[in-house]
Amino acid sequence: MSTTLQNDLFIRAALGQQTERPPVWMMRQAGRFMPEYWEIKNKYSFLEMCKTPEIAADVTMLPVDLLDIDAAILFSDILVTAEAMGGDLSFEQGVGPRFANPVRSMAAADQLATDCLDKLQYVADAIRVIQQRLNGRIPLIGFAGAPFTILSYLVEGASSKDFKLTKLMLNNEPALAHKILQKIADVTVDYLNMQIDAGVNAIQLFDSWALALSWNDYKEFSHQYNTYILSKIKRTVPVISFCKGSSVFAPIMAEANPDVVSVDWNADLKNIKQALPSGMAVQGNLDPFVLYADKKVIETKILQLFERMRGENGFIFNLGHGIMPDIPFDNVKHAIDVVKGFRY
Ligand code: 1CP
């Protein structure tokens, strides 16, 4: 796959190889911090954007053309799998995702569909359009939400700060939680295999909210299902495992055998890398809030990270989490230019 790419820095780093500089992409690189995103967003709802392959491709290409990043990421959302399973999903401006029918009982869990790949075909279509547009310039990353993170939205019915209802289910009704998690995991395997067949060059599994869990609960309710997914999908492209909480959970995440562990900004990236099995790559881990700062500060903090990682193969530069909507576009561009101007 990588031999057909004009820029394969990202793939080489993901496979643990040496690169002349770290490759760069940023979580939420196609989004609200871009005026060009709003030009599209003002005309369509978020779900219309995701479900119309030409529009999803237009948005995916924005950071490719405007930021010159080393990898594109499919424009979609982690919650589309939960919608395909039967979740009544909407995105309200300024509020975020909502499920009108939260899943909080065995009866509701029983109703969740697992044979629902037909409802996600628009994603495969979008991938094919994007690959035509990319035409081998850079790799395309596909993705899915990890079962625990998806479970939290299905149970809470919306974004949550404390995951109170989700944790109540894990504690009082673990069998119910396991039933839902297994269904999500099965759909996720099919969904990621569909993306791989449609032509993505890498996969990222987003377990954004695993940081809410204790060590034991992480193993039981998150890691177990991520391991299942990574063991069942076709391993023909590199797989990145992301969670907020990876500063703590990285050693267990590695047991699921991803190619790359994506690290939040609490950890010293070199220490994490050296604790991982040899050859396993890392991605991260600039605090996204640095991108609000003066350009000189942005440069200094990126170069500090690069000095620390000098001599380490298998390093993809990214943020520890996504770009916030009010970060100045110029600062993001500057950060990317700093990375692209660097040589080991
Ligand atoms: O109103 C708008 O314009 C929609 C905002 C938006 C965007 C641009 C949402 C709603 N999702 C997205 C795109 C998106 N989401 C991508 C596209 C690719 C890219 O990174 O550029 C990806 C990979 C996601 C994944 C996603 N969605 C995650 C995992 C990553 C992360 O940020 O932790 C999560 C948790 C979601 C849920 C979600 N989608 C959107 C919102 C507002 C939220 C809620 C976040 C929360 O609960 O705080």
Using one digit for the tens of pLDDT, what is the confidence trace for 210-246? 999 999 999 999 999 999 999 999 999 999 999 999 9
- Residue 253's pLDDT is 98
d(CA 214, CA 85): 28
- In terms of C-beta distances under 8 Å and separation of at least 24 residues, what long-range contacts does 183-187 make, across chains too? 183/85, 183/109, 183/112, 183/114, 184/81, 184/82, 184/85, 184/147, 184/150, 184/151, 184/154, 184/225, 185/147, 185/225, 185/228, 185/229, 186/114, 187/81, 187/84, 187/85, 187/114, 187/116, 187/117
Tell me how far the alpha carbon of residue 38 lies from the centroid of ligand 1, in angstroms: 15
Q: Kindly report, residue by residue over 46-102, the tens digit of the pLDDT.
A: 999 999 999 999 999 999 999 999 999 999 999 999 999 999 999 988 889 999 999
Check whether 326 has a pLDDT greater than 50.
Answer: yes
Fold of 2-341: TIM Barrel (3.20.20)
Residue 4's pLDDT is what? 86
Task: State whether residue 317 is helix, strand or coil.
Answer: strand
Under 8 Å between Cβ of 313 and 17: yes
Q: Is the CB of 219 under 6 A from ligand 1?
A: no
Q: Judge whether residue 321 has pLDDT over 80.
A: yes
Spell out the residues 6+ positions from residue 25 whose beta carbon is closer than 8 angstroms to its own: 10, 63, 69, 70, 71, 72, 73, 141, 316, 318
State whether the beta carbon of 97 lies less than 6 angstroms from ligand 1. yes
- What gap in Å lies between CA 240 and CA 231, rounded to an integer? 13
Q: Mean of the pLDDT values across residues 16-37?
A: 96
Whether the pLDDT of residue 151 is over 70: the answer is yes
pLDDT > 60? residue 159? yes
Q: Residues of the chain with pLDDT > 70: what percent?
A: 99
Q: Residue 141: CB within 6 Å of ligand 1?
A: no
Q: What's the whole-number average pLDDT of the chain? A: 97
Determine whether the shortest distance from the Cβ of 77 to ligand 1 is under 6 A. Answer: yes
Instruction: Round to whole Å and give the CA distance between 175 and 154.
Output: 16
For a mutational test of ligand 1's pocket, the pick from 27, 28, 222, i.e. the residue with the most ligand atoms closer than 8 A to its C-beta, is: 28
Q: What is the mean pLDDT of residues 147-176?
A: 98
Nearest CA to ligand 1 atom 24: 77
- CA-CA distances (angstroms) from residue 150 to 79, 124, 139, 166, 319? 7, 20, 26, 11, 22
At residue 1 the predicted structure's pLDDT band, cuts being 50, 70 and 90, is very low
Q: Tell me: pLDDT of 2 over 70.
A: no
Query: pLDDT tens, 293-314?
Result: 999 999 999 999 999 999 999 9
Mutate to test the pocket of ligand 1, among 62, 64, 77 (most ligand atoms within 8 A of CB): 77
